[in-house]
Every structure is written in structure tokens, then in C-alpha cells.
Chain A
Amino acid sequence: MRFKDVFSIIGPSMVGPSSSHTAGAVRIGLVAHQLLGAVPKRAEILFYGSFAATYQGHGTDIAIVSGLLGFATDDIRIPNALSVAGEQGMDVIFGQGKGLFSHPNTVKLLLETSEPEARKLSLVGTSIGGGNIEIVSVNEFRVKITGDYPTLVILHEDRTGIIADVTSMLKSERVNIGYMSVDRKGRSGQALTVLELDDMLPDSLIPALQTIDHVQHISKIDLSQF
């Protein structure tokens, strides 16, 4: 089911004018903000399909930047996001994406941070209507992230038993997995596991998960307050 609950139909509370082109775009930006754990220093924002055709009129550009700044969908600062980004030292470049895209409302984000550490993130997000989103790619890994549930994004090496180690820790905390996606760059190469959970983990468990052999990085996503 693409839409899972009543508030994906009635809601979100948002600043207009478009749920798919404004609120959905804010939420895609927010996922990137949470994956980075910081406001990016540089953001290249490439629009595809309907996003490319109409992003200026709908404020999709300022909406993506609002999300990258950590604004909620009904934050009244959204109309001024570009100046806030400038004040925070974010370089923003907008462009039109080339090639095939998975949905009429698709955006690719190429992001870099300097704080707290230099990191790069590439992300492809689609806005599927009513403010609902699906992130379909993170750093070239195929994923499916809706942001509707607390989500763990685990970068690890492709080794036997890592998923079992992670899920057994979740079991011991009695946290249920609702949806899971796994992709890898190649056999024994880098892999990305995404877990949509029914409840957010206690913060103490993230460091514990990070001690699992061959786990490289863990990020949390939770848009329930946005």
C-alpha cells in the first residue's frame, strides 16, 4: 500500500501552494537533512519531469532548501528559505536533470557537508502526492524510504550475518520492523540496509548497533514531527 494511514490523506498541515511540489519537497529535503545530520555546505538540486517544468511557480526550489535547513512543512519561514540558506553559508545550485526518472515529481540532490565532518550524499526522491514521498536512491543504492515511520539507514559491508545481528538487537528491544530494503554495490562490497520501524529505538542502541563488525555508518530518519 502506497498510503498507509489517515494522515497521509488528511494532512499534512502545510504552507501552500502545492502538497506534492511544496510540502512533499520539504519532506524530501528533511530526509536529506536527517541523513546528513547537518545543514549542507553545498547543495546541487536537479529537477525532473513535472518538478522541472513547474518548480519555480510552486516554490519547489525554496521548499527543498527549507527541508535541507530542517524546517517543517508548515514553518512560516518557508517563503524566505533562500535568504536563510545564504545566512547559514549554504551554496545552492538549481538545475534540470537529464536521463530517465522514476516518477513525474522527481528530484536529485547532490550534497556536501563540512560540519561535523566532510561528507557527501546523493539522494533521489519522488513526491507521490498529498505531501507523501518515496526516497528511491541513497548514494546510488536502491531504497524505499517514506519517512512515515522511524527509519534506520545502515551502511555496511556485504557480509554473512550482519542483518541477523542487527535484527536480533532490535528483537531484544522489542522493536518491530514494518518494511525493509537491502541493496549492495556488489558481492562482498558495500551494502545499504533500510529498516522502517514501528517504534523509534532508544538512543543508546545506535552506538550498540555501530559496534557490529563491518557496520560503517548509521543514520536515523523520523518525519513524524514534521
Chain B
Amino acid sequence: MNLLKLSWKYLTFKPLSTGLNVLLLALGLAIITVLLLVQDQFEKKMTQDAAGIDLVVGAKGSPLQLILSSVYHIDFPTGNIPMNEAIRLSRNRLVKQTIPLALGDNYQGYRIVGTNHDYLKLYDAGFLAGNAWNEPFEVVLGATVAEKSGMKLGETFSGSHGISQGSHDHDEHAFKVVGILEPQGNVLDRLVLTSIESVWYTHDEKGEETEESEAQIEDHEEHFHHEVAKTGFPQTDEEREVTSLLIQYRSPMAAVQLPRMINSNTSMQAASPSFEISRLFELLGIGVTILEGLAYVLIVISGLGIFIALYNSLKERRYDLAVLRAIGASRIDLLLLILLEGISLTFLGSILGILLGHSFLSVLASQNETGVGAGLEAWIFLPAELWIVIYALCVGLLASLIPAWSAYRTSIADQLTRK
């Protein structure tokens, strides 16, 4: 028997009151843990996914929406832009590289992105199996898509129209898996990549199937087996559209001139990922601040709870304390006993809180497979979590200071005489 054991016995002697205080503290700390983890990983992911993209050009609408849909693939696209205008822009001397994107379909909620091989190079993507697409309707799967769908090389599937699950299927032409990407830890993991031509031809079918002539069928046969564009824009004589362009600047000057030029002189809009994302974080910041506030309120309440619990139990335990003194405990021993109770209570709360926070995040990540939450790693531990423990212990120390002092001051002779 020592003081630590004794303090533990006193805590477990009142499981309800102890449990409530631990839970309150744990909830507050869990919120802080989640915020810490999400903030850390979210910002990292956001910057990582937008690396190498200086400007996104798409149809007019919300610039944030354009960034979210074209860089992070989470929101709906703003619309399409005429390809000839896009080509003209790509020839601007301020533009180093353009990667066109054609969006609009999904497979089981994972977006099908029509693009060229430059998009793979942008993220430095390696292949786990197979290789990149060469012909229309050949696709490459992101690591998460491959894992969740269980599809292998050579398998075929049809996409659904729209960018969220459950719309009607395009069953006229099946996509064929020719490559699977290595896990990237970025947005590519949850995308199905293919050529822009594939996306075009899928949508062409719809309108034309009723009056398909033999000539058109031949035309299609020819279409479907020629090689697709590996870089730049696909070759076509028709009036075609793409959804957006990812642009790299040639010089820093471009950042000043290009967006203004696009926004005022064309029917398209330009948005900078870094600017829009910092705006997004500003908007989210209010929510984060409110949550943080709530967490601190919970922690203060639990600190008060611990204080009240210790203070009340002290009243009931005056005799116990006096008896301890009578059998040889010093004032310091009693002080330590009460401090230990407060500290072990908060230590328990902080461990539970951190575990709760991580579990909550893992639930969040598993519930959100195709969205932004998908790549969140729930079981990464940050050095900042150590501060949560230290912070909690300080709360415990603070809450038990007055009761401990009052235990220190207890006069045993008075206590034992009062019968």
C-alpha cells in the first residue's frame, strides 16, 4: 500500500463521480485532439494537392467552387469552357504548362477525370501495375479506388453520369482498367483517370444513339481505336468543351497579369488555389474557434467538477485523514494524497480524451471514403498531444490545490475529538 494506490482506491470507491469527471475532461480534450489532427493533416493535404498548380481556369462562377472541384475534386464543377478558347489561352507566353480536365462522371462515387499524362507527372505518380491510358476508354485507378472496388487490370466497368453516386449509368461503353497507381497520399488516390476523349465519347453516345447511322458507327470505330493525346489538348475538328485548366506560370509576372486578363477579357474565370484555400481556412476558422471555445468550456467545467468532487469528499474524509495522521502520515503525505487524486483523475481523462479523439477521427475518415476526409490518418500521434496531457495535468493540479491545502491544514486532534 502506498499513497498512489490509496488515492486510486479512493477514486474507484466513487466510480460514478470519478467517471463523470473523467468523461467531461476527456470530451473536452477529444475535441482539441480532433482539431489538432484535422488542422495539421488538412492543411498539409490541401497544400500538397495544390502543389504545382498556380492557377485554375474554368467557367464563370464561384472561384472557391472551381478550386474545390478541379484541384480537390470535392465540389461540383462550375460548368464547361469552349476548348478553342482554352487552347488560345495555353498559347499565352505567360503560361508554361496547361493541363486540361474533363469532369462529369463517377464510378461508385469516385470521380472519373479526363485529362492527359501531364496530370500524372504533376503529382509524380508511379504505377503499382499496368501503365497509363493510350486509347479511349482505358482508365487508370487511384490506389484507394482500386482497393475499395477490388478491380484488377483488364476488368471493365461503366461510369455513372454526374459526380456523385446513384445517377444513371453510361452502359454503352465500358471503361477498361489498364493501370493502377501506387498509393500517393493525395487526391489521386480516390480518382479514376482517363483521357479527355473517353469523357467526350461517353457523353456523345447519349444524344445520338436513337438515330445512329452506319457511317457514324464506322466513325466511332475509328474514334475509339486511335491513340489519345498524351499531352496538351486532344486533336479534334469538332466544337468541344473541357471543364477546367490547371495552369503553371512561366514567370512570377504571370501571377499579376494572367488572372486579370482572363477574368476581364474572356468568358472564363481564373482562381488561385493558394488564395482560395486561405480564404476557405478563414471561413472555417470561425467554426474552429467556436469548437475550441466549447472544448475549453468543457475543460474548465471538468476542472470545477474535479475541484468540487475533491472538496466534498474531503468533508466526508476528515476522519480518514485524521486517522492517517494518527497512524503516522505527515501533513505532506495528505497533501500528496489529494494532489495525486486530482492528477491521476486528469491523467486518465487526458489519455481517454486523446484515444477518443483519434477514434472519432478514424470513424470520420471511414465514413467519408470519397470525400476530403478520406485521406485523414487517424492513428498518427502529434507531439502537440503531449501538451494536451501536460495541460490536463495542470488542470488537475489546479483543481486539487485548494482541497490538498485544506487537507494539509486539517488539525487531527480537533477531528478525532469531535465525535
Q: Do the two chains belong together in a single complex? A: no
